[in-house]
Amino acid sequence: GAGVSQSPSNKVTEKGKDVELRCDPISGHTALYWYRQRLGQGLEFLIYFQGNSAPDKSGLPSDRFSAERTGESVSTLTIQRTQQEDSAVYLCASSLAIGELFFGEGSRLTVL
Amino acid sequence: GENVEQHPSTLSVQEGDSAVIKCTYSDSASNYFPWYKQELGKRPQLIIDIRSNVGEKKDQRIAVTLNKTAKHFSLHITETQPEDSAVYFCAQEGGFKTIFGAGTRLFVKA
């Protein structure tokens, strides 16, 4: 596609449920990033992929968070046993190399 | 580890005045410093960037300066307009990992 695509755009879930967020990067972009943005806050780094490998997972808040990327394309961020503090917009971005990050519209997660 | 400090957190200026946002970083290996603008409810978008081999870059009303010795870089917006109102994030990239500052909320009053 022309840009980074994320789904779902909005997700409301109950505390304790698992959620999966999907990111389709720009075709050919080898680097893929996940960030979390709480309301009115900054961009919190979660994880990035170079190809299918994740050299740096240091930003994942807890072991309830995991991410994978297959075929150097689609990535999935999974949050298990969601908590209310997980409520945020989860932004995905991709880049070709060291340079501009192209962001998706984000997935807004609300945990009740 | 990597860290980017950004100041101020909020900035209010009169239309036509200049706005300056400053960032300091800790990772001396960083060599790419982008600035992103995020309008309300929108995704962040790159507005200007600078690499470590230059000290200044300008694009119309926007300029960025970099001081690698002091590990700080700044965004300058001249002749501000109401549509410049947004949140601005500085960032540093080292080894493909991009870390963002906390953001500056800029208000341009007409």
Residue-wise DSSP of A22-44: EEE--TT--EEEEEEE-TT---E
Residue B96 scores a pLDDT above 80: no
Residue B82 structure tokens: 């109401």
Q: What is the pLDDT of residue B1?
A: 58
pLDDT tens digit string along A27-47?
A: 999 999 999 999 989 999 999
pLDDT tens digit string along A41-84?
A: 999 999 999 888 888 888 999 999 999 998 889 999 999 999 99
From chain A, pick out residues whose CB is under 8 angstroms from the CB of B99: 45
Enclosing H/E stretch for A83: none
Residue B101 scores a pLDDT above 60: yes
Give the up-direction half-sphere exposure of residue A43: CA atoms within 13 A in the CB hemisphere: 33
Residue A103 scores a pLDDT above 60: yes
For residue A13, what pLDDT band results from cuts at 50, 70 and 90? Answer: very high
Looking at the complex, report in whole angstroms how far the Cα of residue B35 sits from the nearest Cα belonging to chain A: 10
Residue A66 structure tokens: 């995991």
Q: Other C-beta atoms within 10 Å of A108: how many?
A: 17
Residues A10-32 have a mean pLDDT of 96
- From the list B31, B36, B43, which residue is nearest A106 (CB)? B43
- Contact criterion met (CB < 8 Å) for A99 and B101: no
Q: Using CA atoms, how far apart are residues B53 and A85, in angstroms rounded to an integer?
A: 41
Residue B5 structure tokens: 């400090």
- Please check whether residue A25 touches B, CB under 8 A: no
Q: Which residue of A has its CA nearest to B34?
A: A100
From chain B, pick out residues whose CB is under 8 angstroms from the CB of A98: 31-32, 93, 96
